[in-house]
Every structure is written in C-alpha cells, then in structure tokens.
Amino acid sequence: MSGDAVETPLLEVRGLAMHFPVSEGIVLSRKVGDVKAVDGVDFAIKRGETLGLVGESGCGKTTTGRCILRLERPSAGQILFDGQDISGLGRKDLVALRRRMQVIFQDPYSSLNPRMKVGDIIAEPIKVHGVEPDAKRRRARVRELLSICGLDPKFADRYPHEMSGGQRQRVGIARALALDPEFIVCDEAVSALDVSIQAQVVNLLEDLRERFRLTYLFIAHDLSVVRHLCQRVAVMYLGRIVEMADCDELFDNPLHPYTQALLSAVPIPDPRVEATRDFRPAPGEVPSPINPPPGCVFHPRCPLAVEGCKRTRPALRELRPGHWVACSEVN
Amino acid sequence: MSALLDVRNLHTEFRTGAGLVRAVDGVSYTVDPGETVAIVGESGSGKSVGAMSILRLIPDPPGRITQGQILFDGRDLLRLSQVEMREIRGRDIGMVFQEPMTSLNPVLTIGRQITEVLEQHQGADRQAAERRALELMEMVGIADTGRRLKQYPHQLSGGMRQRVMIAVALACNPKLIIADEPTTALDVTIQAQILELMKSLTLRLNVALIVITHNLGVVARYASRVNVMYAGRIVEAGSADAIYHDPRHPYTIALLRSVPRLDQPRRARLDPVDGQPPDLTRLDGGCAFRPRCRFAVERCGEARPALAPTGEAGHFAACFRSDELVAARDVAAREVAA
C-alpha cells in the first residue's frame, strides 16, 4: 500500500469477503440472512513483515486469517500469495500451498492431539507432505525443531498433558515450523498464556522471524503485545478495516474514533498513571453482524458521528503517508 | 475499624492422581468494609481456590479446607453449617464469576434470576421482587429493562450477562462481593464499561470487593490493596502504589517487568520471567519461586520464607532478600531504560 513498495508483497488481500448464511427453522430450514463476518477487506504484507490484525470478538479477524489459510473458501475477493490468487484453489493445489503457510493457534490445550507424543505431533506434517521419508532423519529433525523452540529434545517422548501451557505452545510453534514455511498466521498465539510465560513466547516468535525470515499475520486482541511485535497494524470492526498504519504511527497517533476508544480502554499497569488518566469507555456494544447498522458501522457508538455517517459507508483513505482511515469526520 | 473479612492461615488441599496439591497453603489477609482488594496471580497460584474457600464452594472430595479461620463480620465461616452458609452466600457475600453464561441458569429468565435471590433471602413477594429487579437492572446500566426482564441469558451479549450477574450479586445489599476474573471473557471496551460500573457501584453502596485477576492493568486501575500469590501463598502484599512502585519480591518485580506497556516506548526485547510455573505436587521445602529467581541464594532452598514487613507500613514480602533486593532492582531498571 505504501508508495515505495517495489517488491511485490508476499500476501495481498483484495476485497475479501466471507458471508455465512443464517437459517431459521429446524424442519423447513430457510435462509434468513447472512453474517457478514468479513465484508470487504484489503491489505498487503511484505516479506519479513509482521502485520497485526486487532479488534474485538466478532470483528472478523480470525475469519480473515482462516480465509487466507484457505480453511474457508471466501465469498468474494482475491488472496494473492506470492503473486498467485489462491482464493479459488481446489484441494490438491492447496496441499502444496500449505507447505508454505502455517498457523499457530490460541489454545495449546486443544490444538495438540492428547493421544500423540510430542515428537509425533511435530513429525506429522513432515510425514504427510513426504518431506523426509527416512524415520531416523525425521527424528533428528524433530529434535532440532524442539531445541529451536527452546525445548529439551527429550520432550519428544512426552505427551502434551505432561507439559505446561507455555511448553505446549512451543510445541505448536515447532509443528508450524516443521515444513519451513514462509508465512505463519498467529491466531491469538499468546493470549491463553500466563503473563510470565507470554513474554517468553513473544521473544521466541521474534527470534524465529529473524532467523528464518518469516512473515507473520499476528491476530490478537491484546494491544500492548501487538504494539511490541508488529511493524504495521490493521484495526477491524464488524468485518471491516477501520484503520491501518505503521505500528508507531497507529499507537502514537490513532485517528479513527474506534481505535481511540480501544486504546483508551486498556488499563495501564501503573496505579499512578491510571489515577491521572481520563477514562470514558465507549458506550454501547458491538452490533450484530447479521444486521449491521447502515453507513459507517461504528456510528451508533461514535462520539464524532454526524447525520451523514448513518448513510454513507466511509472508504479507507490515506490521510498521512501509509496511514489509512475509514472515517469521514477525521482529516 | 475492624476488618470485614479476616482470613487467617487458610489451607486448602486437593488430593489428585499426581499427589497432594496444597492449592492454598497458609494464606492470611484482611478486607476492610468498602475496600477493594485485588488478588493477583497466574493459573495455579491458588487465587481462585482461595476465594472459593471463603464461600465454602470447594468440591469435597477431592478438595478440603484443612486449617485456618475465615472471620466474616466476626463469625468464622468454617464453623457454620451448610444451611447457614447458604444464607450467607448471595445475601451477605455476592459473587461474580468469569463466564456469565455458565453462572446464570439458562432456563430461567433474567428477571427470575434476580427475583429468586430476593425471594430466597429477603422473603420478598413476587411483585416487590420484580419491582426491585427492575430497579437493580437500571442501576447496572441495562436499558429497556421491561423487555430484558423476560429474556433468557442466551439472548444477551456477554457484557449484558455480566451486568445481570452484578445485579444478582448486589440484589440483597451484600457487604462483600467476590469477583473472580469478572472481565477476562469480555472484550476490552466492554471490560472497561463493566469495571467502571463495579467501581462506581461498590463506592456508592459501600460494598467491599475482592477482585481476582491476572491482569496487572485492571489491578492498577481498581484496587487500593494488592495480594500477589504464587504457588499457593501470598508472596507480596501492600498498597497498590507500593506493589507497583516499590515491589520487594522477585516474582512481583519480574512480573511487572515482563509486560509490555502502551504508555512506554517500545522495548527491543521483552524481559520474561524465566522457567516454567511450579508443579504443585513437587514443591520442596524451599522458596517455590527459587528455580525462576535471579536473586536466589543457598538459603532460599532451606526454608519457605514467611511474609515479613518491608518498606512502608502495611507492605509485606515473603523473600529472605527483600531489603537488599531494592538496590539490585533499581540498577536493573536503569539498565533496561538505558
């Protein structure tokens, strides 16, 4: 999106939409509407960059990630991965793609098969994709991956339940790395971890990014972690991107009223700072994505809303270099 | 002023397949009338079990309160019968849990959830209870109360359900509310609304509040006093200001340093707490934080340090080295800043 992008981005999403049908009635089921989980999203991620995708539950950030991974077939739009549109690929073509893009999930308790040993969990993708048919060399690779992720190679013989949450998440990361991917979707990858462990895993993700020149889409709701880890950030609300900018620019100079509300709602871990902070939480709640408000979807909660906001849906505009905002009232 | 709640040397154990877990291992603290006290800790630190012990809601077996006293308004809750305890829960002590969907009854209307408490504890008749329910719903910021009264929990959003929980907790004018991770399941803008609501209501109604949370930001904003728990014990206790600006236990210091802060410049690296959380079935006689502690010495392996006064009045830390720690802590902080 920035003018100096000579290099083609690794991933580009254009007009992505994902609508889920809503039906009513059990016997005579009929479609009554759509949940517009993702409703026209555009962004690009350069090689080696981390884009943060933030927003509250139901804003469509996870669905966006699932569409990019092609765990869903999007209703509309293009997903260009390394120049190739993958939005309509079939099963067979996707297999090859999945070697290049991987995912780290939120919950290290439910994303690892409890009946498999850690070593087998990590070896599974290597086996499935036929990367290393030799069992001995595969085991060596698993040990290497474990130590890359800061775990004792002996853990290969353990079961997930014998490990702590932080260790399990490292196993999930080792599995994602097993096929040498270029691109990883981190879907709330540190959200379920305890505070003291979270920082360990954040540091690990940063080390891996540099070591293997990885590109991340970092989906999260914790803004302070996003600020630490990402180079660019997109804020989503009700299926749409409302603001996107370089990380420092977005956090130092948020322009969209929703981003401002989001940032001011995060309590700072310091009672002296909190005592001086003006604090007015945004009123109301996120409306239903089945029946979103007309015009700007944020207008019912917005302090800047004027009559026109109820009618026209604001497009993303580049108000400063690289800083995109979907609001007609800020300039 | 005597304390409203005085927990003395509380021990709660669980017998598990892996061995005996001392989930709460000698915890003492007080809560004054109208005061907000935060209990901070990570999973397995015993913060929730401690609160459930106050309410005597520990499933037995496998759990058991083995020792201690819980003096509430002068009465020892551990000596009360189940019937007497049931009268205290919901009337004198209100509860707000993390997941409002599982703590509200899915087959009762919102109105009924509130009126039930009133009828049970105050012997109110249906009409009086319903009037009071409408009043309570308005107080917790639920609009369109007449319609909401007839709805079921699944028809409400997470934030609305938590408001209903607060209304239920406040219904009988309790003296104390125990809120266990009240906003963890909620989005950040809704979290802010709910916390502001709880803060203003507890202030206005002079209700004491115990907030159990892992979120250091929430604690900083809402609590006047803080207990930091680790491996079943309180390792540091004091005013919020002392805990955040003069921490005297290595765990508290490490915890505060590990979180990225939105109000500070971005750091090149985060400074995590090393190692893994403790396995409660395998604690030895030494300090439980020792394997992860940057200040550990030989003595730390010999005994578990008791909470001892340090720094300002009312500030306690369970560390042999808490006084000498201050210098090392400040040097490290300067290095990080540089």
- The pLDDT assigned to A3 comes to 46
Distance from CA of A263 to the nearest CA of B (A): 8
Overall residue count recorded for chain B in this entry:
338
Q: Specify the 3-state DSSP secondary structure of B160.
A: helix
The pLDDT tens digits for B104-147 are: 899 999 999 999 989 988 888 889 999 999 999 988 888 888 88
Distance from CA of B165 to the nearest CA of A (A): 17
Which of A194, A224, A262 minimises the CB distance to B277? Answer: A194
Which of B187, B193, B259 minimises the CB distance to A269? Answer: B259
- Cβ distance of A167 and B276 shorter than 8 Å: yes
Q: Are B234 and B199 in contact (CB under 8 A)?
A: no
What does the block give as tokens for B260?
């990225």
DSSP B28-91: EEEE-TT-EEEEE--TTSSHHHHHHHHTT---TTTEEEEEEEEEETTEEGGGS-HHHHHHHBTT
Whether chain B has a CB inside 8 Å of the CB on A152: the answer is no
Sign for the pseudo-dihedral over CA of A89, A91, A94, A96: negative
Distance from CA of A151 to the nearest CA of B (A): 11
Whether chain B has a CB inside 8 Å of the CB on A195: the answer is yes
- Cβ distance of A279 and B196 shorter than 8 Å: yes
Q: Are B258 and A190 in contact (CB under 8 A)?
A: no
Please list every residue in chain A whose beta carbon sits closer than 8 Å to the beta carbon of residue B266.
Answer: 227-228, 247-248
**CA nearest to B220 within chain A:** A271
Please list every residue in chain A whose beta carbon sits closer than 8 Å to the beta carbon of residue B187.
Answer: 56-57, 221, 286
Whether chain B has a CB inside 8 Å of the CB on A71: the answer is no
CB burial of residue B150 (10 Å; 0-12, 13-18, 19+): exposed
DSSP B226-293: EEEEETTEEEEEEEHHHHHHS--SHHHHHHHHHS--TTSPPPSS--PPPS----GGG--SS-TTGGG-
**CA nearest to A269 within chain B:** B217
Q: Letter for the amino acid at A110? A: S
Say whether pLDDT at A317 is over 70: yes
Closest alpha carbon to B278 in A197, A156, A150, A119: A197
Mean pLDDT of chain A: 91
**CA nearest to A270 within chain B:** B220
Whether chain B has a CB inside 8 Å of the CB on A236: the answer is no
Q: Are A214 and A148 in contact (CB under 8 A)?
A: no
How far apart CA A318 and CA A243 sit, in angstroms, is 10
Please list every residue in chain B whose beta carbon sits closer than 8 Å to the beta carbon of residue A260.
Answer: none
- Cβ distance of B220 and A269 shorter than 8 Å: yes
Distance from CA of B128 to the nearest CA of A (A): 30
Please list every residue in chain B whose beta carbon sits closer than 8 Å to the beta carbon of residue A106.
Answer: none
How far apart CA A190 and CA A197 sit, in angstroms, is 9
Please list every residue in chain A whose beta carbon sits closer than 8 Å to the beta carbon of residue B190.
Answer: 56, 285
Please list every residue in chain A whose beta carbon sits closer than 8 Å to the beta carbon of residue B193.
Answer: 281, 283
Say whether pLDDT at A2 is over 60: no
Please list every residue in chain B whose beta carbon sits closer than 8 Å to the beta carbon of residue A290.
Answer: none
What does the block give as tokens for B70?
């819980």
- Cβ distance of B261 and A225 shorter than 8 Å: no
Please list every residue in chain A whose beta carbon sits closer than 8 Å to the beta carbon of residue B262.
Answer: 223-224, 227, 251, 263, 266, 268
How far apart CA A300 and CA A302 sit, in angstroms, is 6
Q: Specify the 3-state DSSP secondary structure of B46.
A: coil
Whether chain B has a CB inside 8 Å of the CB on A158: the answer is no
How far apart CA B231 and CA A145 sit, in angstroms, is 31
Distance from CA of A219 to the nearest CA of B (A): 15
Closest alpha carbon to B19 in B235, B265, B282: B282
The pLDDT tens digits for A119-172 are: 999 999 999 998 888 999 999 999 999 999 999 999 999 999 988 889 999 999
- The pLDDT assigned to A108 comes to 79
Please list every residue in chain A whose beta carbon sits closer than 8 Å to the beta carbon of residue B273.
Answer: 196-197, 199-200
Q: At how many degrees (to 10) do helices A118-128 and A135-148 cross?
A: 120
Mean pLDDT on A103-127 = 91
Helices (H) and strands (E) in chain A — how many of each?
A: 10, 12
The radius of gyration computed from the CA coordinates of chain A, to the nearest angstrom, equals 21
Distances (CA, A) of A300 to A307, B75, B205: 11, 50, 31
N-to-C CA span, chain B: 46
User: Is A207 or B159 the better-scoring residue by pLDDT?
Assistant: A207
Q: Are B12 and B55 in contact (CB under 8 A)?
A: no
How far apart CA B326 and CA B319 sit, in angstroms, is 12
Tokens 């929703």 found at = A258
**CA nearest to B244 within chain A:** A270
Mean pLDDT on A208-217 = 96
- The pLDDT assigned to A1 comes to 47
How far apart CA A329 and CA A257 sit, in angstroms, is 9
**CA nearest to B277 within chain A:** A164
Q: Letter for the amino acid at A252? A: D
Closest alpha carbon to B41 in B243, B242, B191, B271: B243
CB atoms within 10 A of CB A90: 9
| pTM for this model (two decimals) | 0.89
- Cβ distance of B272 and A198 shorter than 8 Å: yes
Residues linked to residue B309 through DSSP beta bridges, in sequence order: B316
Q: Are A233 and A220 in contact (CB under 8 A)?
A: no
Distances (CA, A) of B71 to A223, B77, B215, B315: 41, 6, 28, 22
- Cβ distance of B219 and A57 shorter than 8 Å: no
Sign for the pseudo-dihedral over CA of A41, A42, A47, A52: negative
Please list every residue in chain A whose beta carbon sits closer than 8 Å to the beta carbon of residue B245.
Answer: 270-272
Q: What is the DSSP letter of A158?
A: S
- Cβ distance of B256 and A269 shorter than 8 Å: yes
User: Is B159 or A14 the better-scoring residue by pLDDT?
Assistant: A14
- Cβ distance of A228 and B276 shorter than 8 Å: no
Closest alpha carbon to A71 in A39, A43, A105: A105
Tokens 């079939």 found at = A90
**CA nearest to A251 within chain B:** B262
Size of interface A-B (CB pairs under 8 A): 138
Q: Letter for the amino acid at A229? A: L
Tokens 């004792």 found at = A152
Going along chain A, which residue ranges are E strands?
11-24, 30-45, 50-54, 76-81, 84-85, 101-104, 183-187, 215-220, 232-237, 240-246, 317-320, 323-325
Interface test with B, best of A106, A195, A253, A263 (most B CBs within 10 A): A195
* Tens of each residue's pLDDT in chain B, 338 residues: 589 999 999 999 999 888 899 999 999 999 999 999 999 998 889 999 999 999 999 988 889 999 999 999 989 999 999 999 999 998 999 999 887 777 889 999 999 999 998 998 888 888 999 999 999 998 888 888 888 889 999 888 888 898 899 999 999 999 999 999 888 878 888 888 888 888 889 999 999 999 999 999 999 988 999 999 999 999 999 999 999 999 999 999 999 999 999 988 888 888 889 888 888 888 888 999 999 998 999 999 999 999 999 989 999 999 999 888 888 787 777 766 66
Say whether pLDDT at A178 is over 60: yes
DSSP B88-145: HBTTTEEEE-S-HHHHS-TTS-HHHHHHHHHHHHH---HHHHHHHHHHHHHHTT-SSH
Which of A198, A200, A274 minimises the CB distance to B220? Answer: A274
Going along B149-224, which residue ranges are E strands?
176-180, 208-213
Say whether pLDDT at A279 is over 80: no
- The pLDDT assigned to B338 comes to 60
Q: Are B208 and B202 in contact (CB under 8 A)?
A: yes
pLDDT band at A5 (very low <50, low <70, confident <90, very high): very low
- The ipTM (two decimal places) reads 0.85
DSSP A63-116: HHHHHHTTSS--SEEEEEETTEE-TT--HHHHHHHHTTEEEE-S-TTTSS-TTS
For Cα atoms A101, A105, A110, give the angle at the middle one, nearest 5 degrees.
Answer: 130
Whether chain B has a CB inside 8 Å of the CB on A131: the answer is no
φ/ψ of A242, rounded to 5, equals -100, -25
How far apart CA B335 and CA B238 sit, in angstroms, is 26
How far apart CA B195 and CA B207 sit, in angstroms, is 14
**CA nearest to B279 within chain A:** A164
